[in-house]
Structure 1
Amino acid sequence: MINPSLLLRPLTKSIIHQMVRLLLLLLFIVPVSANGGGVFFNGFTGVGGVNLSLAGTAKITSDGLLQLTTKKTHVKGSAFHPLPFRFKDPTSGKIVSFSSTFVFAVRSKFKQLSGNGIVFAISPTINLSGDTGSQFFGIVKDTDLGKPTNRLFFVELDTIDNQEFGDINNNHVGFDINTIRSNSSITAGYYTDGGRRFENLTLVSGDPMQVWVDYDGVTMRMEVTLAPINLSKPAVPLLSSTINLTDIINDDMYVGFSSATGSFLTSHYILGWSFQLNGNTRDLEISTLPKLPPKSINGGRRNLLAVWISVGVTVFVLALLSGVVFTVTRRKKFAQVYEDWEKEYESCRFSYKELYKTTRGFRTSSLIGVGGFGRVYKGMLPRSKLDVAVKRIPHESMQNMKDFISEVVSMCQLRHRNIIRQHGYSRRKGELLLVYDFMPNGGLDKYLFQHETPSSSYRASLHWNQRFHIIKGVAAGLYYLHEEWEKVVIHRDIKASNVLLDQDFNAHVSDFGLARLYDHGSTSMTTKAIGSVGYMAPELATTGRITKATDVFSFGIFLLEVVCGRRPLEVELAEEKRVLVDWVLENGKRGKIVDTVDSRINLTEQGNKVIEEVELVLNLGLLCSNPLATERPNMGHVIEILEGIAPVPDLSEIFNTDA
């Protein structure tokens, strides 16, 4: 504010400058009110650009860009309008309509890997209590995920595939409420030809893209649209969903952006931003937006002249030494690690060159999955013409590599119709490659948890006979691992995402990355308590001792998720439903265990035989997941129960307990 005493003094150059700045500020910032309000930043230079509340690494560059994060790991940055907006009509108490558009870009050191992406957020505060810059977009703590008191809504532009929170891939757009598990999401892109054609966009391409967010307060319809910067707004939105924000957000809320880098060197930019309550947002003037810095080349910060000099030198050197460079490059490209102790495993070892050709050079088009342990590519072995999956697992140094390879080779000897067949391995510096059968119908989890899958990736629901067939297949596979092979194999990670389906929907137990072997006659072995949250037997936390019973516990949880169509732990649900096994147990005590069955099975249209089978599997799931390891059946007994040879033991003692 200008000091009133200044008005009594002569209009010096300094006073004139202050008055001009105030007038510009009033032009750029529209006052917040119940009837409307908005902001418009066509670039962030001058007075309008600095009138933002910046936190973390966020800054305004000299070129007028809003840079949320710098190219550092584990940092976060946010930028919010410093004044709140009145989102609720004071008379009706309902959310008013609003719209926003902004242009963003994600620049990463690596071509296809980046930090956590960007969110456009509606928040009750500008002082975000977000977790570290490692995850969660820097907007919410892991301990606060899903809490209604967060009062958060945001649109995520996500470049990380986090299976723990149901991400569909590492390149998607979603609507989030109080947590980073999206209510709905879809692969990044845009529709053309009246919605009949879908064009993919890569969020980490480094190219600027424009986003439109529109909310209709009457119909409660939330829409987000995405397009390259050189295109006008597509007629059909990318993602549309009915969301009642009335009970989610407060009367007055702040709007802005937040981002985090995680483990990758990434810069997140906003080039321009427009927001409007109770009206259409003002269009950005694309031609006058600030320009992004040149894309990095090989991680360097080179200007255009240096790039051309580098190219010229490279061409000159190649012209003189093309033969030498070609030979050295080829050797390095297919270089692999080979030690003397691997000679005995020769029959199970692939050359890296062979796997490179199998996957067509590990092209993006061959990529079929990204998980916590690495990327998976589809390929065809040139000699056998067999379709295979090749998993690339990064590692810097593994002191127990010899033991690990020994167990991998042992797994290659497993032969069972319900066990994924491993064909062998390859090894190069910093990377281990595993080769196993390709399963055309993918993971079972994609069919069970369709509420986490967008319409573009929709898969038909499994009917009960298919689910029961899959359950029996996994049971047979586990029995083989525990009792029929020459050694005892403890899988340690039985869950729906580790069950792959072939073209006839036969189950194949997969992902033996955590598996351990010991001789028959031994009772157990001690190791770290490693596995997936929700599937680990309780005794592992106290004894660290893995046994066949620890696998049986995981199998019990697996049975419940197949029948109920949900994950073992879902924090966004009501408290009594969050833990799957507790929810099923409580319904069993009330004699209403079938109330937990996945609605897509539709028991009302099934016969008594199906209802009996469903009840049998639910009760067997509770029996297998008994907290007392000694009370769990072995897999031989499990198969007898599933086949009707043996009855399910009496669970009245479990149902009658208060625990």
Structure 2
Amino acid sequence: MEAGHHSIKIYPRKTNHLILNSAMEALGLLFHLLLLGLLVHAELNFTYKGFLKANVTTEGASFIKSDGILALTNDSVRLIGHSFYPSPIRFKKSNPNRTEAAVTFSTNFVFSISPKYPEIGGHGLAFVLMPTEKLKSLPNQYLGLPNDTDNARFFAVEFDVVQNVELQDINDNHVGIDISSLISNISEPAAYYSSNDNRSNSVALKSGEPIQAWIDYDSNKMLMNVSISPCGTLRPHRPLISFPIDLSLVLDEYMYVGFSASTGLLAALHYVHGWSFSIEGRAQDLDPRKLPFLNSKPNKLMHSKGFAVGITLASITLIFLAIIGVIQIIFRIRDGDEIMEDWEIEYRVHRFNYSELFSATRGFGEKNLVSSGGFGRVYRGVIRGTGLEVAVKRVYSGSRQGMREFVAEITSVGRLRHRNLVHLHGWCRKQNELLLVYDYFPNGSLDKLLYEDGPLKGKNLTWDQRYKILTGIAHALLYLHENCNQRVVHRDVKPSNVLIDEDLNAKLGDFGLARTYEHNNDPQTTHIVGTLGYLAPELTRTGKATTSTDVYGYGGADELVLVDWVRELHSRREITRAIDPTLKNYHSGEAQLVLTLGLLCCHPHPDYRPTMRRVVQLLLGDATLPPLPHDIHMEVPIAITEYSDTFGDDSDNPSSQKMPSSSSKNSWTIGHTTRVTF
């Protein structure tokens, strides 16, 4: 070549090799993307005709039976069971306008609920979408779902077989849609519409028979449809629930999908027999003939001879079992701990065997002793088989809390359902010994928490924690006074009867002196009961306990201070000096409200005490406490008739349950010049 020109060499074989490698890499990437797309598609559409080979997780009490049925719970009390598809599923997609919309999804499944005691019922189960598969919930009547409305974020369709007044349930056999709350946004009695006459046909959710459910969400219409029918019938042409909702405002981008159930005091078997689910399409229909059931019908009839032999053997077995059962009953009656009481039949309270409680408390040993008093002793125990930690209240026959108070406690607590009441698990009787079984609270009672060598000694409660405890007690008393089917007067409200759980929630307990009566009737009790220091002064004159006497006890239960001392400080306008000096960073306005409210609740005249509804409104900031006279306890009212309709003892006045409208204000006069308005 000539000088000054650069030479260029060409290697055709090497170039072809590079091109071939690049093409193979591109082709491999294409196959990878295609395979990934197929995998994603497979995750979004699945059908399980039984769960032996299903890709699901089981948490808590849930497990897969040998026949392929998914059991969320067995028929024991205080259990939680969850089962989820193991991977989170994408429930939101981006629109061209860069906003996120919930995707269309469809599911259908077959379930059954078999209560241990069919005439009582159970609690039910729910289909759920959750941001996490690790649910923080308690074994109670809340279907295994979180009851913390401040932090919960979920979508659920509940199939509920108990009527919970606290959750505003419409009946004890309903289907509902729950949006981040256990109070349903919409609910309907369980039923389906037949295609022939468009008539609603009731479905008994707790019958133990398999029931098929369809849940479909249309993202374009923003419409949720829910249908049910007995398994084996056609899908109803009309949904039971049709609810407009934009799920993009409810769901996270990725959610876990599955089922949740729990048992509280009412036990039941919660089963799922088959499940089909699909994103952006209709879920595949389930064929009932291919699903596992508890009582499957044989394909062929047995020969007559074999059938006769089987019947004979079955009859002999039943007779043998009946004889054994009678022998066991005789021995139990002889031991004195299996005598059925009339009130037990009426209220259906669970009864423990004495040997079970004896074992749980390690023979009622001193190491398990929690507290003792005039009624007997309380022991810590662990129920074998369930691992449930309980407190066993052992009442002696010679104690001041005899059979009458024992029955009162069982019949009162056994029907009550509220987050700020102690939950009763059951009872037991062994000859002259009476036992009650409650939740165990390691923090003990409020009085020990504040004053004695409790488990939190040295850890001062913050102001927010104290305020939370006071508000919880107020909610409990409001529920007892106004929200029960029958009004309940506790009659012994004091710090030692307020238990504190691990989250520092207050739980009102010890209903041994409680009495119930209809909302429209007056209480007839004429003898004085309760604890000195917490008895309202009018009890010494009338002997009649009312909701107003409970209010007095609540005011005394705020033992951050002494009532007389606070009254004196209030008269000098120095009420905040009564605050615990070790308490740092408290809210001055709330502290003054609590102390002043305590004085009002402890007013010597019952007509001047607020109702618990008014107390709750004040603590929640829904009402304002006006300035009060210097000494509200000493000044005598001119005429009770001027204000008796305001803070009168509404425990005896059915009309007082109606709160005044926002356009009107209640007022009363104290002394000669001060008129206080609420």
Q: TM-score normalized by structure 1?
A: 0.50
TM-score, reference length from structure 2:
0.49
